[in-house]
Structure 1
Amino acid sequence: MKSKKLLALALSCVCALGAFALVGCSSGGGESSDGSAPAENGGAISVISREDGSGTRGAFTELFGVLDDNKKDATTSSAVVTNSTSVMMTTVAGDPASIGYISLGSVNETVKPVKIDGVAPSAEGVKDGSYKVARPFNVVAKDGMSEVAQDFLNFIMSAEGQEVVDSEYVSVADSAASYTASGKSGKVVVAGSSSVTPIMEKLAEAYEALNPDVKVEVQQSDSSTGVQSAIDGTCDLGMASRELKDSELSQGVKPVVIAMDGIAVIVNNGSSVDDLTSDQVKGIFTGDITDWSEIA
């Protein structure tokens, strides 16, 4: 008799666990395990942006018209602010309802880039003009830079340097002259944009291989900090992933475009959103569109 009671109790526990599992698998609201609604089911959009001073943010707001009547940044105050490309990608990868933006050259399998106005982001699209969301990568310096810094810049703009650029971005010097190792020694400090940093590190590695007595130190921050560091003379070359402002140019720095890069609008890999119009992106980042159900 006792064994029959134990068997009945065991069976009731199994049934209860099975019912619980079914409820758990069908969350009722279509939410993910962290409570966020995936884009295909509607739900509040998680807007992820970059920090003030980011060249990518500046270029993004200009290109999509995320601006107020005074041409000032009009990014919604509800946006989550991230301070680098890597943090942006990690944030979007971890939030099924999110949308953000990064340098095209930084896209990897952790996030999904979406088409803009029917065109997929690609280096080829930037080069032929079909993908319109593009901006320059600049290095900036004041007159009188050191000979070794000038030599490094010469390498960047050479055929060999532009070949490095072309591996992930869009080169800007199709008929550049070949570079010959200079035999110089010393140190070059390059500082600024987190978007430019990855290609600058590859350029530094290639240059150092030809000039083993030179150390190129790449310091990551943001575009505004990079430009200001060049103005202040605390670095040899500043990195900016946007056009320079008149207020910066008036302080004696000159930009050199070393590459062109697209800006990719990214969503979580679990999102069903594959294509957005420019107006939809603008609406999302200004706060006019707040729910994924508003995206046709």
Structure 2
Amino acid sequence: MKKLSTLSKIAITGLAGLSFLTACGTKSAEGGSSSNQTINVVSREEGSGTRGAFVELFHVLEKGADGKKVDMTSDKAIVTNSTSVMLTTVSGDANAIGYASLGSLDDSNKILKIDGAEATVDNIKDGTYKISRPFNIVTKSEVSEAAQDFIHFILSADGQAVVEKSGYIPLDNAPTYTAKANSGKVVVAGSSSVTPVMEKLKEAYAKVNAKVTVEVQQSDSSTGIISATEGTADIGMSSRELTDEEKAKGVTPTVIALDGIGVIVNKNNPVSDLTNEQVKEIFTGKTTSWDALSK
């Protein structure tokens, strides 16, 4: 797979115009991509919670001959190492398709309907849009007083109000928050999908308890879980469920929100709706051109 780092955003931006002209083909005057163009699959890196949830929900994860699950993402996929690079990559390529956390999406890309359902909070709540996953914080059985206080805030009515305002689905019946820690520092590390809402939770928390400092370190879900397990972070962030093996190492996940995964294409792409099966075939490399979707 082709790897694309954060530094590549500069190159993407610079080449966006060229990519657009090349990809638009005979429909460039209309601003749409040509239907016979090769689909450019854009995925997240291994270890990403968003990728883990995506391949599970779209059945890109299949059992191999040995009975173990194998990620069948096309080896021709462009691999991005963060949510921001994913969004930039797709917005700069008229024939790209990718995916990202619903709460992280903006108007730079088109969000596709899946099986006729729009990726909205209401549709996730009522089960109409089925591509959703939990946002978890990961901790050992014992955490510092400061970390516990921040967790109490995240799960409180105040914290869940931040979750909802950020575009995610909050928990029901959240309790009132009362500060109990008078000092300390909390290190939170992991998922780039959870990071944006965690940064907002950090800001809101500072207004109600300035005596505790919170540091948020962005990486990916697997790294966040390892950091919590090894004690290099007080709290890990994961945008996927933990495996039994990870739980066996002494950490426990706590759901702090529910999030959808949006499948995205360039704004100039005429496609607006795909089935779950079509998404699977695109990301496994079975469908490689846009015109094949209409056959």
Please name the residue that 1:25 is paired with. none
Aligned to 1:257: 255
Structure 1 counterpart SS, 2:270: coil
Q: What is the CA-CA distance between 1:74 and the residue it aligns to?
A: 0.5
Where in structure 2 are the equivalents of 1:141-152 lying within 5 Å? 141-152=139-150
Equivalent in 30, 52, 56 of residue 62 of structure 1:
56
Q: Is the 8 A contact 1:40 1:273 kept in 2?
A: no
CA contact (8 A) 2:145 2:181 kept: no
Question: How many equivalent pairs are there?
Answer: 265
Which amino acid in structure 2 is aligned with residue 69 of structure 1?
Answer: K
Deviations 1:91-132 (A, max 9, x none): 000000000000000110111100000001011111111110
Q: Which has the larger radius of gyration?
A: 1
Q: Deviations over 1:254-286 (max 9, x none)?
A: 000000000000000110010000000000000
- Distance (Å, rounded) in 2 between the aligned partners of 1:41 and 1:35: 9
Q: Is this contact kept in 1: 2:23–2:37, CA < 8 A?
A: no
Amino acid corresponding to residue 152 of structure 1 in structure 2? F
Give TM-score, length-normalised by structure 1: 0.87
Equivalence for 2:273:
275
Report the equivalent of 1:24.
Answer: none
Q: Is the 8 A contact 1:114 1:264 kept in 2?
A: yes
Cα distance in 2 between the residues matched to 1:46 and 1:95 = 8
Structure 2 counterparts to residues 75-154 of structure 1, below 5 A: 75-154=73-152
- For the structure 1 residues 277 and 147, does the alpha-carbon distance in structure 2 shift closer, same or farther, using more than 3 Å as the test? same
Where do residues 119-268 of structure 1 align in structure 2 (5 Å cutoff)? Answer: 119-167=117-165, 168-172=167-171, 174-182=172-180, 184-268=182-266
By how many angstroms is 1:181 displaced?
2.6
- CA drift of 1:222 comes to 0.1
2:21 corresponds to 1:33: yes
Matched with 2:4 is: none
Measured in 1, the distance between the counterparts of 2:239 and 2:140 equals 18
Q: Give the percent of matched residue pairs that are identical in Structure 1 and Structure 2.
A: 57
Distance 1:128 1:272 in 2: 28
8 A Cα contact 1:39 1:292, kept in partner? no
Instruction: Tell me if the contact between 1:185 and 1:211 (Cα under 8 Å) persists in the aligned partners.
Output: no
Structure 2 unaligned residues grouped into runs of 5+:
1-18, 26-31
CA shift, 1:162, in A, is 0.8
Is contact 1:105–1:261 with CA below 8 Å preserved after alignment?
yes
Structure 1: gaps (5+ residues): 1-30
RMSD: 1.3
Structure 2 distance, partners of 1:176, 1:68, is 38
- Between the aligned partners of 1:94 and 1:187, the Cα distance in structure 2 is 39
Label 1:244 to 1:119 Cα distance change in 2 as closer, same or farther (>3 A): same
Partner SS state of residue 41, structure 1: coil
In structure 1, the partner of 2:46 is 52
Runs of 4+ in 1 over 3 A off after TM superposition: 34-40
- Tell me the TM-score normalised to structure 2 length: 0.87
Aligned equivalents of 1:183, 1:238: Cα separation in 2: 20
Secondary structure of 1:259's partner?
strand
